[in-house]
Amino acid sequence: MNDAVSSSTTSFAPEIEFWFDFGSNYSYLSVMRIEALAAAHGVRIRWRPFLLGPVFRDLGFTNSPFVLQKEKGAYVWKDMERQCRKYGIPFMRPGTFPRAALLAMRVALLGADRQWMAAYCRKIMQLNFADDRDIGSAEVVSEALEELGLPAQQIIADSQGDANKLRLREQTETAAARGIFGAPTFFVGEEMFWGNDRLDDALEYCDSTGTAQ
């Protein structure tokens, strides 16, 4: 059973796939909310970390649209302030955006089915979007793991293995093949929902289908 599910949820519960990138500001909002919301709906989470940068490049973008389009970028940071106030989530605009987080993403892929996954993702996101820390550095990733009482040195070494590196590339290719163009993206079966503001819709769709994945 996925670690993000409450103990009362069976392996036959509906499932939501959560595709995210630690550099994505709207993924931050979803990472901080999804575990509690999914548990309330009796839904399992399948964590799907992927690299948004290669997806953007395939779509012809050299950077985040929030960087390339000045007006959109200005709006987004105002919107993030409002949304974080709404959800009671701390927020500080990162000094670097989008912030590279390759190591943090490799660790997330390694931990996707482990009990510490949700807590690790929340910690990394907080370090990026509340503390403005360099989540691409081994020092910060180690700090996050150690604060969770995890063997940071071993986990990082495992995440840097060739097999895990390849898995992250393949998962990113899978994201593109499934039509993902931004983060966060959610799937319930083959039904796709894009954006933090569609998380509730995706969970309600799980309720309406009641289909075990």
29 neighbors 89 (Cβ within 8 angstroms):
yes
Among the listed residues 6, 7, 11, 24, the single catalytic one is 24
Whether 11 is catalytic:
no
For the chain, helix (H) and strand (E) counts, in that order, are: 10, 4
CA distance 145 to 116: 9
Instruction: For residue 196, give the DSSP letter.
Output: G
For 111, which DSSP code?
A: T
Backbone angles phi, psi at 45, to 5 degrees: -105, 130
DSSP state of 9: -
Angle between helices 70-87 and 25-41 (to 10 degrees): 30
Distances (CA, A) of 211 to 1, 23, 36, 188, 203: 16, 31, 20, 9, 12
Compute the chain's Rg from CA coordinates: 16
The catalytic residue positions are: 24
